[in-house]
Amino acid sequence: MYTVGTLSFDNPLYQLQQNILHVDMDAFYASLAERDNPNLVGKPVVMARHPHETGGKGIVTTANYIAREYGIHSGMPSWKAYQLCPTAVFVPVNHPYVRSVSQQLYRIFLQYTPDVQRIAYDEAYLSLDMMQDGEQVAKQIKQQIKDELDLTCSIGVSYNKTLAKLASDYQKPDGLTEIDVENAVTFLDSLPVKDVHGIGPKTVSKLEKYHVETVKDLKMMNPEDLELIFGSGVDSLMNRLNGVDPKPVVTEREPKSSGNERTYHPFLASDVEVQQAIISLVDKLGDTLKRDHLFGNTVVLKLRDAEFKNYSRRLHLDYVFQDKATVYDLAWKAWLELRPQMNHTIRLVGVTLTGLDSNEGRQQGQTLLL
């Protein structure tokens, strides 16, 4: 029997049976650069602007596996990456392009299951039906990504999210690892503690003083020492290291509305001041709608006066839109309708677009942002 805090383990506990894939693209940004420019293949590629162009400012987004052999990693200052490998090729990140490829990637995921939890442009959890063969689905996804996008990924398959993520990291790049109930504890026990998500370099250094190198070593530590190092998080950590993680895949839901509001001081007292406030709010909202590919059909103007009384007006169109001009026109019209009711100056203005839809195939009015 193993005890830590309020937890006791004889055999691993399996609180929630799931069928989960963790898909992690291999050096996604750098792989895109190499795919589109074959001259980069075989060279150390660092995704950042060259420090000579930035005066030494900037950080590394990621690097290909060749550059990583020099010790270059994400979050490192670009000047440090240059010091480690002066021959590296520095490539600025084209974020809109990366986002567009990521959308292609997620469309592939959704062909296999509607339950997809987005972690990043290049990383996601997929929850499959219990009757599906996780390893077979993983092979199909890997092949489809290779065929359609000419990219590789590593996929972990397991009965919970912690193990699926550990599995995807196990055989990078282009790996596929399955951890089932029977081999989970054996796999975990042999894992170096430095490879456990949530145990950082500083904690690894502390554990070295206890001669702890693997998860099995960690489990043999005195419970009081564990609590001293990990604090209140020790129970959750030891649960995960004994194969227990009941957290489900959380499917991303589309928002029903998007908006901005702002409190003003001094208060707004004229049409011109309210107009400028609406223009500023619509400008920010329009950028968000374009970035997230969202369209809506109803604009809501919210006002709060100096006496904290709230007013609102909703104006609806029979088609979806996202352009700033239409949002502004409806918000301004709503102001003109509310203005006769206003007996005080305005302390807050908000503009929201509701009835959101990411399907651009629906009937639209104007769809291009100014």
Residues contacting 329, CB < 8 A, separation 6+: none
Surface-to-core class of residue 233, CB atoms within 10 Å of its CB (0-12 exposed, 13-18 middle, 19+ buried): exposed
130, 17 contact by CB (below 8 A): yes
- Packing angle of the helix pair 324-338, 271-291 (nearest 10 deg): 150
What are the DSSP E strand ranges found in 60-144? 62-63, 89-91, 116-120, 123-127
Residues contacting 63, CB < 8 A, separation 6+: 27, 30, 44, 45, 46, 47, 72, 73, 74, 81, 88
33, 66 contact by CB (below 8 A): no
Distance from C-alpha of 227 to C-alpha of 212, rounded to nearest angstrom:
15
Task: Name 301's bridge partners.
Answer: 313, 351
**360 in catalytic set:** no
Distance from C-alpha of 13 to C-alpha of 301, rounded to nearest angstrom:
52
Distance from C-alpha of 355 to C-alpha of 358, rounded to nearest angstrom:
10
Instruction: Give CA 248 to chain center in angstroms.
Output: 16
127, 149 contact by CB (below 8 A): no
- Packing angle of the helix pair 234-241, 223-230 (nearest 10 deg): 110
Surface-to-core class of residue 167, CB atoms within 10 Å of its CB (0-12 exposed, 13-18 middle, 19+ buried): buried
Amino acid letter for position 354: T
Single out the catalytic residue among 34, 69, 123, 182. Answer: 123
- Helix (H) / strand (E) element for 294: namely none
Distance from C-alpha of 302 to C-alpha of 295, rounded to nearest angstrom:
20
**What amino acid positions are annotated as catalytic residues?**
123
